[in-house]
Amino acid sequence: MRSELNCVAVVASAAVCAASSGQALSTELVASDLTPVVYVTHAPGDFDRIFVVELFGQITVLDRNTGAKLGVFLEQEVSTNGERGLLGLAFHPDYANNGLFYINYTDLLGDTVVAEFAVSDEDPNVADPASRRQILFVDQPASNHNGGWIGFGPNDGYLYVAMGDGGISTNAQNLNSVLGAILRLDVDGDDYPADDGRNYAIPSDNPFVGGAAEEIWAYGLRNPFRCSFDSATGDFYMGDVGNFAREEVNFQPADSMGGENYGWRCYEASLPFQMTGCADKSTMTFPVHEYPRSMGCSVISGEVYRGCAIPELDGTYFFGDYCSSRAWSFEIVDGAATNLVERTAEFGAATGGGTGLAGFGRDAYGEIYISRLDGEVHRIVPAGGIADKNGNGIADACETSGGCNDADLAEPFGALDIADVVEFLRAFGMGLPTADLAAPFGAYDIADVVEFLRQFGGGCA
């Protein structure tokens, strides 16, 4: 059960609440010997693999359960000086049918490119480089503040692109510039058929349609390097790297109509910065959480936990800082960040020391990963590790179907019928974990059949 104590971080004194959900955490090493890793993600519905985004231009496919390298998915030439590189990856919501995915990178001239690729017809662990189609190009005035995150909205299916201010703070308050903003694009349409480098449509409900830069969904951001959607609600979290005083996490509820101004350059988090020509403070949307430079200097926005291995933490948002390699979590309650907990000691080597923490990510189960610039990928687990009775690398809680008991294996869940029998026989014949119901675990034998029949006969309560 989550603690009933709602505690507040007092930014001025850098106080952090010590209360937690009661669930102690740890991390486990998933993979190492990679080049600098900035992000981990998964293809929709793919419970067997994770995709690792490496700063120097490579995407590596790993076995989700063993960490084994399955292949190099894509290699892309990128510029890597300053804050450049391969920065983002997102799979089309209909990837299972169309095989399309999108990357965000800085090209050899240092400009931002969002490009579409398709998976190879021959090998699911390899992309087809010849399928490349440029979606978006943005001229970058400097090597820093490129943003880099991209992701599809779980509720609308549009592609969101996080753009930094390009190192020029005034861009973030200029609605004629796509810099310093979150962009929202329809990659299934094309409003610019005469432009081979601009292959998207503008959603009709974007907030600035008919004026300014129509791609903009929200603005007033300095460098939103990492962002994420809550997969269960569609709420949107943005970590915006500060200037010299504050780091911030911004929150946009799923029912937002867009158009928020998050304040930069007028404000750095809640602190006035360059106020000349700024709109009234009442028009700004301020962060749900901020912290001073004594706690870090480059916020790494994370993920909301929606996994099955640690159900006590459902709805908890994790994030960290690149400079201090510290990590925290909080929960959003009625639009406010509550129950702030520092996780650095629990995460151990995953956060480590120095400047290694570069990103958080999520697999298809909703489990959260931490990526590091030393080429390591770690997974957040309960202290003592996951309960894994058959040793297949999948938490036992993640192998249940979501039905009323272990015999409820097929839709419609909540009703035990012939579909469950057929699915059990299929899983049993293939040696799948869902049919491994009784000791000795790992041996598919009569004991599993007896246990299935026992639970099937008991029915759903």
pLDDT digits (tens, 9 = 90+) for 301-315: 999 999 989 999 999
In whole angstroms, give the CA distance from residue 116 to residue 133. Answer: 5
Total domain count, the chain: 2
User: Is 165 within a domain?
Assistant: yes
Beta strands per DSSP E along 64-171: 69-75, 86-91, 100-106, 112-119, 127-138, 150-152, 159-163
Distances in Å between the Cα of 285 and the Cα atoms of 160, 243, 261, 269 are 19, 18, 6, 10
More confident call, 397 vs 214: 214
In whole angstroms, give the CA distance from residue 149 to residue 271. Answer: 25
**Residue 15 pLDDT grade (very low, low, confident, very high; cuts 50, 70, 90):** very low
The average confidence (pLDDT) of the chain is 91
First to last CA, the chain: 24
| 376: amino acid identity, one letter | E
User: Is 392 within a domain?
Assistant: no
Residue 403 pLDDT: 66
**Residue 7 pLDDT grade (very low, low, confident, very high; cuts 50, 70, 90):** very low
pLDDT tens for 425-434 read 988 887 777 7
In whole angstroms, give the CA distance from residue 107 to residue 119. Answer: 21
Same domain, 368 and 407: no
pLDDT tens for 74-84 read 999 999 999 99
Same domain, 256 and 304: yes
User: Is 79 within a domain?
Assistant: yes
Q: What is the mean pLDDT of residues 48-70?
A: 97
Q: Is 90 exceeded by the pLDDT of residue 6?
A: no
User: Is 232 within a domain?
Assistant: yes
pLDDT tens for 129-151 read 999 999 999 999 999 999 999 99
In whole angstroms, give the CA distance from residue 323 to residue 351. Answer: 11
More confident call, 426 vs 353: 426
Same domain, 253 and 351: yes
In whole angstroms, give the CA distance from residue 436 to residue 447. Answer: 9
Same domain, 269 and 376: yes
Same domain, 357 and 445: no
3-state secondary structure of 313: helix
Nearest to 52 by CA among 43, 44, 247: 43
Same domain, 307 and 428: no
Which residues is 103 bridged to in the sheet?
Answer: 89, 115
Beta strands per DSSP E along 356-418: 357-362, 368-372, 377-382
Q: What is the mean pLDDT of residues 343-347?
A: 97
- Of 18-22, 226-230, 265-269, 430-434, the range with the lowest mean pLDDT is 18-22
Burial class (CB in 10 A: 0-12, 13-18, 19+), 24: exposed
Which CATH number does the domain housing residue 286 bear?
2.120.10.30
Last residue of a domain, one of 340, 355, 382: 382
In whole angstroms, give the CA distance from residue 292 to residue 268. Answer: 11
Same domain, 347 and 199: yes
Same domain, 170 and 64: yes
Q: Is 60 exceeded by the pLDDT of residue 21?
A: no
H helix or E strand, kind and range, residue 451:
helix 446-458
- Of 201-205, 232-236, 418-422, the range with the lowest mean pLDDT is 418-422
Residue 296 pLDDT: 96
Q: Which domain holds residue 427?
A: 400-458
Last residue of a domain, one of 339, 355, 382: 382
User: Is 29 within a domain?
Assistant: yes
Same domain, 344 and 370: yes
**Residue 265 pLDDT grade (very low, low, confident, very high; cuts 50, 70, 90):** very high
Same domain, 287 and 429: no
Beta strands per DSSP E along 126-245: 127-138, 150-152, 159-163, 181-185, 216-219, 226-229, 236-240
User: Is 317 within a domain?
Assistant: yes
Burial class (CB in 10 A: 0-12, 13-18, 19+), 353: exposed
User: Is 391 within a domain?
Assistant: no
In whole angstroms, give the CA distance from residue 91 to residue 114. Answer: 13
Last residue of a domain, one of 325, 349, 382: 382
Same domain, 352 and 450: no
Q: What is the mean pLDDT of residues 384-388?
A: 90
What pTM, to 2 d.p., does this model score? 0.86
Same domain, 352 and 414: no
CA atoms within 13 A on the CB side of 153: 25
User: Is 389 within a domain?
Assistant: no
**Residue 458 pLDDT grade (very low, low, confident, very high; cuts 50, 70, 90):** confident
